[in-house]
Amino acid sequence: MHASHKIIGAQIQENMDQMLVSSWFHLHSSVPLSYVQPPESRPGTAIVASGKTIPVVDLGVHDHVEVLGQILRASEQYGFFQVINHGVCNELIEDTINVLKEFHGMPAEEKMRESSKDPNGSCKLYSSREINNKDAIQFWRDTLRHLCPPSRQFIHFWPQKPSTYREVVERYTEEMRKLGVKILEVLCEGLGLDREYCNGGLSESPLLLTHHYPPCPEPNLTLGAPKHRDPTLLTILLQEKDINALQVFKDGEWIGVEPIPNAFVVNIGLLLQIISNGRLIGAEHRVVTNCERARTTVAYFIRPTNETIIEPAKALTTLHPPIYKSITYSDFLTIFMTKGPDIEPQLLLP
């Protein structure tokens, strides 16, 4: 290999290492300035509720009315709940977490190669945030993102390493699709809509986000994810056991979402808040870091196709006039990417 090629190769490797937090976090005894949050956003300055938690719903209970009531109340009051006895086997849950931890543990060059096969970006690996302004404050995480519709349309762009990745993740996303349909049907019934209202275009473009949060030397100064709402109908999150990091904002304080083994955290997205005409809460949440252990999570985003119209359901606007505009999902995403946590005023009718 020519010396110039070696230099270029070394530069590419250096750029990749700088880009992924997992490549350089262990080299620093302090948080780089670009990752330091403004004082008002730092974890150490916020009120964290003591002894409070989000609701837990047992989907194995045979009383449908009781389950419906619990899910609806949690979605109205918290925008978050955990589900147990959901029908997804524990072995698949363990296999999914393990294969994704294995992926994030691979060398940077290999991870980048495995996640950049589609020039259109249906599968990608990035640090901090998907659209990243280098002048903006950064977040302490790496993310693998890829589309996962039931048609298997994009599966040939998914990573092939680790060797079991595609097999395990395909099975997992299929189980998430089934669980998402079940929960959405219950929510629609509870709202007084047709149970299948959210089927079809409203949920045909699911996305998988795997976040990896390395240990952080100064967790009081930075965040793994900022205060935000999800641009989804519904998000189904798998957390690692024994690591408390996810927090939900309610009544002026943060509530920690303690991991329950083999449970899923379900949260209402902004789109379902719009469809419900404000009855359900697309709750604000964030992720804090810790100095001892890496944390890997798997988030399944239930989302519409780009051309789908998002608006309050007509059946819910006869007694209460609509408070949100009608908007295509692609236009919604454009506003979401530019406004972030300040998006809601842009969605309201004048």
Contact, 148 vs 154, CB < 8 A? yes
Distance CA 346, CA 350 (A): 10
Phi-psi region of 250 (alpha: psi -120 to 50; beta: other; left: phi over 0): beta
Which domains, ranges and CATH numbers included, belong to the chain?
A: 3-347 (2.60.120.330)
Instruction: To the nearest 10°, report the CA torsion of 148, 152, 157, 159.
Output: 70
**Predicted local distance difference test score (pLDDT) of residue 46:** 67
Distance CA 319, CA 342 (A): 28
CA 270 and chain centroid, separation: 13
| Rg for the chain, CA atoms, rounded | 20
Distance CA 203, CA 197 (A): 10
Residues in the chain: 350
Helix axes 165-191, 64-77, angle to 10 degrees: 90
Distance CA 267, CA 232 (A): 9
Reading the chain (350 residues) residue by residue, the pLDDT tens digits are 454 444 434 444 445 545 899 999 999 899 999 999 999 999 976 678 778 999 999 999 999 999 999 999 999 999 999 999 999 999 999 999 999 999 999 999 999 999 999 999 999 999 998 877 777 899 999 999 999 999 999 999 999 999 999 999 999 999 999 999 999 999 999 999 999 999 989 999 999 999 999 999 999 999 999 999 999 999 999 999 899 999 999 999 999 999 999 999 999 999 999 999 999 999 999 999 999 999 999 999 999 999 999 999 999 999 899 999 999 999 999 999 888 888 999 999 99
Tokens of 189: 């019934």
Contact, 212 vs 143, CB < 8 A? yes
Of the candidates 190, 179, 184, 170, which has an alpha carbon nearest to the alpha carbon of residue 85? 179
Instruction: To the nearest 10°, report the CA torsion of 100, 101, 105, 106.
Output: -20
Of the candidates 160, 149, 152, which has an alpha carbon nearest to the alpha carbon of residue 115? 160
- Residue position matching structure tokens 């935000």: 228
DSSP element (H, E) containing 106:
none
DSSP-derived letter for residue 41 is: G
Contact, 28 vs 217, CB < 8 A? yes
Instruction: To the nearest 10°, report the CA torsion of 115, 121, 127, 133.
Output: 160
Distance CA 312, CA 271 (A): 9
pTM of the entire predicted model = 0.93
CB crowding 190-221: b at 16 or more within 10 Å, else e: bbebeeebbeeebbebbbbbbbbbbebebbeb
Long-range contacts of 180-187 (CB under 8 A, 24+ apart): 180/206, 180/234, 180/236, 180/300, 180/302, 182/59, 183/71, 183/83, 183/234, 183/236, 183/266, 184/233, 184/234, 184/302, 186/67, 186/68, 186/71, 186/72, 187/71, 187/72, 187/75, 187/272, 187/280
**Predicted local distance difference test score (pLDDT) of residue 11:** 43
